[in-house]
Amino acid sequence: MESWQSQSRRSLTEVKDIPNHFNMSADDLFGVTQVFSMKITPYYLSLIQTVGDPLFKQVVPDCRELENHGLYEDPLAEDRDSPVPNIVHRYPDRCLFLISAECASYCRFCTRKRKVGDPVKINRNLIHEGVRYIREHKEIRDVILSGGDPLMLSDQRLESVLSEIRAIPHVEILRIGSRVPCFLPHRITPELVDMLRKYHPLYMNVHFNHPDEVTPLAMEALGRLANAGIPLGNQTVLLKGVNDDPMVMRRLMQKLLMARVRPYYIYQADMVFGTEHFRTTVRKGLDIIRKLRGWTSGLAVPHYVIDAPGGGGKIPLLPEYVQKITDDMVVLRNYRGQKFVYKQTDDVPQQKLVLEDGCY
Ligand SMILES: *Cc1c(COP(=O)(O)O)cnc(C)c1O
Ligand code: SF4
């Protein structure tokens, strides 16, 4: 198989590289790529079947990225929660550590789309400051390596970060967030996983948004990670025209389970500048969860969350399963919409149960 470095080098990075049959106006797109990085691996390009399909939409630039809909450059106010460059410390016991500016391909809907691909905004030379911050903050027991994509670093560079953080006694678990298994599965080499397994407990959250991304090559890469004892989770972004359909989501989650990846989060799309055309309603997200829960394996049902605009953190959203709670009983709805009563005391009068229109 081609080396990952070679596959990565052959990526499309300029408007002129976009295939003619995509029928895109080079002049329009040039402006977009001046503002937001573009990169598409030949592998991911080969999975695109038609212009405008769900994979195409995720990576091919679109003129609408420059439209102003009142959205934000930094919708989660990550910069405000950044005590030193490259660290986002928002929760009591864990932090994000941005260690790479690069990704294997650039997602058009990325929350950090103004930053990714820019080595000034995510500066590798400042990694030491981040390590020092984690060392000095004893409350941090969980470090999430992110970026950009940490797996775009060489094995040596990544190992130097992992080993420095692993040497900090109060850090209990390490996590890596990566879209490399989706965009560039070639990167998951036996050498990489042999290195990673030295730093357990190490978790990885991967990022797949559509069932067509879970290819045999991606499954092999995920299998190597799972075989190294790395528990795998998946984060999906809910995107219009990509996966805003309960059937597509269900198939995605089922295919991930076959690859030994446990669905972790579905994110409501953040309010990021230039991504208005990807946003869906929360009602749509709740409908997707309702059509997963009960209808397929519980393992296939992730948490649906909104990352609160302005930096409030992730907030879980659930369809209404509890219809009513009183001191003596709870009225519940199951996945089919049928009602049930759970008695919290043993002296709820029969009369009262019947009044809850036909529950048992
Ligand atoms: C998502 C996120 C985390 C991790 O959240 P978990 O719910 O623990 O997976 C940590 N810090 C920041 C700033 C985040 O956005
Ligand atoms: S891989 Fe992640 S960080 Fe990189 S562009 Fe996509 S969403 Fe953003």
Q: Which of 121-135, 143-157, 197-211, 226-240 has the lowest mean pLDDT?
A: 121-135
- The CATH number corresponding to 87-317 among 3.40.50.1010, 3.20.20.70, 3.40.50.11540, 3.90.1170.50 equals 3.20.20.70
In the predicted structure, residue 254 carries a pLDDT above the cut 60? yes
Q: Could you give the residue numbers annotated as active site?
A: 90-91, 94, 103, 107, 110, 112, 270, 307, 314
Pocket lining: 314 vs ligand 1, CB cutoff 6 Å: yes
Question: Residue 195 and residue 218: Cα distance in Å, rounded?
Answer: 20
What is the band of 125 on the pLDDT scale with cuts at 50, 70, 90?
A: confident
Mean pLDDT across the stretch 257-285? 97
What is the band of 355 on the pLDDT scale with cuts at 50, 70, 90?
A: low
Pocket lining: 203 vs ligand 1, CB cutoff 6 Å: no
State in Å: Cα 129 to ligand 1 middle. Answer: 20
State in Å: Cα 347 to ligand 1 middle. Answer: 44
pLDDT tens digits for range 145-179: 998 999 999 999 999 999 999 999 999 999 999 99
pLDDT tens digits for range 10-33: 999 999 999 988 988 888 899 999
What residues have CB less than 8 Å from 304, skipping those under 6 apart? 238, 265, 266, 268, 285, 286, 288, 289, 316, 317, 318
Nearest CA to ligand 1 atom 5: 314
What residues are in contact with ligand 2 under a 6 Å CB criterion? 103, 106-107, 110, 112, 116, 147-149, 179
pLDDT of residue 357: 56
Pocket test for ligand 1, best of 79, 90, 207, 304 (most atoms within 8 A of CB): 90
Nearest CA to ligand 2 atom 8: 110
Residue 229 CB neighbours (<10 A)? 12
Mean pLDDT across the stretch 69-95? 94
What is the band of 318 on the pLDDT scale with cuts at 50, 70, 90?
A: very high
State in Å: Cα 144 to ligand 1 middle. Answer: 8
What is the band of 349 on the pLDDT scale with cuts at 50, 70, 90?
A: confident
Average pLDDT, the chain: 94
